[in-house]
Amino acid sequence: MENTAYIQLKINCPEFSIKYWRTLAKAEVDFILEKEGKVIPIEVKYSNISGPKISRGFRNFILHYKPEKALVLTKGFCADLKINSSLIKFIPAWYI
């Protein structure tokens, strides 16, 4: 699913550079969209999700870089979660 998400991001967001983030401890964020100093972290969780939960690595990125928004691409789960000033949107992967 990550490969499909990458291809769709390349097609639908050509004005953004696409990167990833990984710490020495192997915490990671699947994609980071970057444009003019602003970032949007994206995590792909293509499984059955029962609530708006995020990984420790994703949370650490959000707490450190304080993006306005972040995305979690899911199988079909939709929700919003707020961490400090960051809005995390859970949306189905097919939406992108």
Per-residue model confidence as pLDDT tens for the chain (96 residues)? 999 999 999 999 999 999 999 988 888 999 999 999 999 999 999 888 889 999 999 999 999 999 999 999 999 999 999 999 999 999 998 887
Q: What is the reported pLDDT for 82?
A: 97
**Domain 2-95, second-level architecture:** 3-Layer(aba) Sandwich (3.40)
Reduce the DSSP state of residue 10 to 3 states and report it. Answer: helix
Element (H, E) at 2: helix 2-12
Q: Which two tokens stand for residue 90?
A: 């859970």
What residue ranges do the domains of the chain occupy? Answer: 2-95
Q: What is the reported pLDDT for 48?
A: 84
